[in-house]
């Protein structure tokens, strides 16, 4: 995918979340989708490249809107030595990405969430390197450990395209992953939800 495709996907995600926000505002009544917090943190990811298991780490920074929607950016980095076709070679993969996430019922101590990371980076095997495009959708749960600290446990799949390294196909660079996310930050304001059991006050 080229840069225009990346921007189109980002805009499509914004429109999708915007439509969801509008529906929830209508159905649930009191709900503000304004700027509500800032969060940053780290990811620790166990993944596969072909038949090779590997550990990948990254960092991110996001803005929170309406207590549920997060938009931001991040960076992932992998450095390892793999055996490819009976030859041990250095393998590096780094990519920057836009991050879009949504937490369902974030006021609960344990709640579900979804994330989509997408952006461009570089894959390098030995002395050969190439630019690639990465899309990583994931889903899981998040635990509100403290007001300023949240722990996420997710599973997802990494889709890689545009690789032209002879020994590395897009399929080999793509793969499933399990991930732990550590988020630090602050969310202000209250989460407003409709109370269906609330009775009107007597005159």
pTM value?
0.74
Q: Is residue 71 within 8 Å of residue 100, measured between CB atoms?
A: yes
HSE-CB at 173 with a 13 A cutoff on CA atoms is 30
Q: How many CB atoms lie within 10 A of CB 54?
A: 18
Residue 190 CB contacts under 8 Å (≥ 6 apart), including other chains? none
For residue 39, CA distances in Å to 5, 60, 187, 188 come to: 27, 8, 8, 12
- Please state the length of the chain: 203
pLDDT digits (tens, 9 = 90+) for 65-74: 999 999 999 9
Query: 83 to each of 52, 59, 86, 87, how far by Cα in Å?
Result: 9, 27, 6, 5
The per-residue pLDDT for 164 is 87
Rounded to 10 degrees, what is the CA torsion of 194, 200, 201, 203? 150
pLDDT of residue 32: 67
Taking the CA of residue 203 as centre, how many other CA atoms within 13 Å lie in the half-sphere pointing to its CB? Answer: 0
Q: How many CA atoms lie within 13 A of 158 on its CB side?
A: 27
Q: Which domains can be identified in the chain, with CATH numbers?
A: 3-30+38-187 (2.40.160.20)
- Looking at residue 194, what is its pLDDT? 47
Measured CA to CA, the distance from residue 10 to residue 133 in angstroms comes to: 14
Predicted pLDDT of residue 44: 94
- The per-residue pLDDT string of the chain (203 residues; one tens digit each, 9 = 90 and over) reads 554 455 455 545 544 444 444 444 433 334 567 888 999 999 999 988 767 788 888 999 999 999 999 999 999 988 777 776 677 888 889 999 999 999 999 999 999 999 999 999 999 988 888 999 999 999 999 999 999 999 999 999 999 999 888 877 898 889 999 999 999 999 887 655 544 445 554 54
CB 55 within 8 A of CB 44: yes
Digit-coded pLDDT (tens) for 74-119: 999 887 777 766 778 888 899 999 999 999 999 999 999 999 999 9
């Amino acid at each position: 995918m080229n840069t225009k495709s990346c921007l189109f996907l980002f805009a499509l995600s914004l429109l999708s979340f915007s439509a969801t926000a509008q529906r929830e505002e209508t159905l649930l009544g009191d709900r503000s989708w304004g700027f509500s917090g800032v969060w940053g943190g780290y990811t620790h990811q166990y993944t596969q490249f072909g038949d090779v298991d590997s550990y990948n780490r990254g960092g991110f920074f996001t803005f929170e809107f309406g207590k549920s929607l997060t938009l931001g950016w991040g960076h992932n980095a992998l450095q390892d030595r793999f055996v490819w076709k009976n030859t041990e070679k250095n393998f590096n993969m780094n990519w920057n990405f836009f991050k879009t996430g949504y937490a369902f019922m974030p006021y609960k101590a344990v709640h579900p969430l979804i994330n989509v990371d997408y952006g461009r980076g570089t894959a390098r095997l030995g002395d050969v390197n190439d630019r690639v495009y990465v899309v990583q959708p994931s889903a899981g749960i998040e635990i509100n450990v403290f007001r300023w600290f949240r722990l996420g446990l997710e599973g997802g799949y990494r889709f890689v395209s545009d690789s032209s390294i002879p020994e590395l196909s897009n399929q080999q660079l793509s793969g499933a992953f399990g991930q732990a996310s550590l988020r630090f930050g602050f969310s202000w304001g209250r989460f407003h939800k409709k109370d269906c059991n609330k009775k009107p006050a007597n005159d």
